[in-house]
Amino acid sequence: MQDPFKIVIQDFEFYYGSVMALRDLNLSIRPHQIFAVLGPARSGKTTLLKSLNRLTDLLHGTNHKGQIFIDGREIYGEEVSLPELRRRVGMVFDLPTALPLSIYENVAYGPRLKGMREKSRLDEIVATSLQAAVLWDEVKDRLPSSALRLSGGQQQRLCIARMLALEPEIIMLDEPCSGLDPISTASIEKSLMTLKEKYTILLVPHNIQQASRVADRVGFFLGGEMIEEGSADQIFTRPQNKKTEDYISGRFG
Partner 1 sequence: MRISRHFTQEMARTLIWIASFSTLAVMFWILYQVLREGLPLLHLSFFLKPPREMGRAGGIASTIIGTLALTIVAIVIATPLGVGTAIFLREYTREGRISRVIRFGTDCLAGVPSIIFGLFGFVFFVIFLGMGWSILSGGLTLTAMILPTIICTAEEAIKSIPYTYREVSYGLGGTRWQTIRRVVLPNAFPGILTGVLLGVGRCVGETAAVILTAGSSFLMPDSLFSPIRTMAVHFYILAREGISMEMAYATGAALIILILIINTVANLLLFRYVQKG
Nearest distance in Å: CB 58, partner 1: 6
- Nearer to partner 1 by C-beta: 131 or 146? 146
Nearest distance in Å: CB 99, partner 1: 6
Q: Using the rule CB under 8 A, is 101 a contact of partner 1?
A: yes
Residue of the chain from 31, 39, 44, 110 that contacts partner 1 (CB under 8 A): 110
Q: Using the rule CB under 8 A, is 250 a contact of partner 1?
A: no
Residue 190 makes CB contacts below 8 A (sequence gap 6+) with: 134
Contact set for partner 1, span 119-158 (CB under 8 A) = 146
Paired residues of 46 in beta bridges: none
CA angle 137, 139, 142 (to 5 degrees): 135
Q: Using the rule CB under 8 A, is 162 a contact of partner 1?
A: yes
Q: Using the rule CB under 8 A, is 95 a contact of partner 1?
A: yes
7: burial class by Cβ within 10 Å (0-12, 13-18, 19+)? buried
Residue of the chain from 6, 87, 157, 217 that contacts partner 1 (CB under 8 A): 87
228: burial class by Cβ within 10 Å (0-12, 13-18, 19+)? buried
Contact set for partner 1, span 48-77 (CB under 8 A) = 53, 55, 58, 60
SS3 content of the chain, % helix, strand, coil (to 5): 40, 25, 35
Nearest distance in Å: CB 88, partner 1: 9
Nearest distance in Å: CB 60, partner 1: 6
Contact criterion met (CB below 8 Å) for 202 and 196? no
- Distance CA(77)–CA(23), nearest Å, equals 21
By CB under 8 A, name the binding residues for partner 1: 53, 55, 58, 60, 82-84, 86-87, 90-91, 93, 95, 97, 99-101, 109-110, 112-114, 146, 159, 162-163, 166
